[in-house]
Amino acid sequence: MSVVQLRDHRSPKGLALATALFVAACGGGSPTTSSSPAAATPPANSAVVALDASSFDATVAAGVSLVEFYHPSCSHCRAMEPVVERLATDFEGQAVVGKVNVTTDQALTNAWGVRGYPTFIVLEDGRQLDTWLGETSYERLADLIRAALAAP
């Protein structure tokens, strides 16, 4: 990974460059296009639930859920795959761990205000409790789930 220092990120040119660098770091392209949209879809034997517009509301309606909004070509999203898999296994029966592919569910992505990838949203009974944007640790996400499970 290369590091680029911007002299003035507040100028229009600097902001455009910073935005372009961020998009390139996350795999480039728009959220509606991808060379392989199914690249990060959970495998059939996974404890992670693949969510889309038709299943989202019913899946998160009862209990605690952690939902990752991901872009298949985002390197940070790919780096989080083992963490999300482990969370799904460790919290199986206590919380739902699901993923939304932003390339195929842009309306759902927009409805939840997702602007970067990966975005993790913790919900209880369909109500948003917490949000985490970007790559993070297993411990941080597990703590968010535990807090939701312990909430009255």
Residue 43 has pLDDT above 80, yes or no: no
Q: Which of 26, 77, 80, 95 is catalytic?
A: 77
Q: Which fold has domain 49-150?
A: Glutaredoxin (3.40.30)
Mean pLDDT calculated for residue range 42-60: 88
Active site residue 26: no
Mean pLDDT, the chain, rounded, equals 81
pTM of the predicted model, to two decimals? 0.73
Region of poorest pLDDT, from 4-8, 16-20, 88-92 = 4-8
Region of poorest pLDDT, from 27-36, 52-61, 99-108, 127-136 = 27-36
* Token pair for 99: 């993923």
Tens of pLDDT, residue by residue over 83-130, are 999 999 999 999 999 999 999 999 999 999 999 999 999 999 999 999
Task: Give one DSSP letter per residue of 80-142, joined into a string.
Answer: HHHHHHHHHHHTTTTEEEEEEETTT-HHHHHHTT--SSSEEEEEETTEEEEEEES---HHHHH
Q: Which amino acid is at 118?
A: P
Residue 49 has pLDDT above 60, yes or no: yes
Task: Tell me the backbone φ, ψ of residue 122, rounded to 5 degrees.
Answer: -100, 130
* Token pair for 25: 């770091």
Segments making up each domain of the chain, as ranges: 1-30, 49-150
Identify the pLDDT of residue 151. 83
Side by side, the strands of the sheet bearing 49-51 are: 49-51, 95-101, 64-70, 119-124, 127-133
Active site residue 74: yes
Residue 63 has pLDDT above 60, yes or no: yes
Q: Which of 60, 64, 66, 74 is catalytic?
A: 74
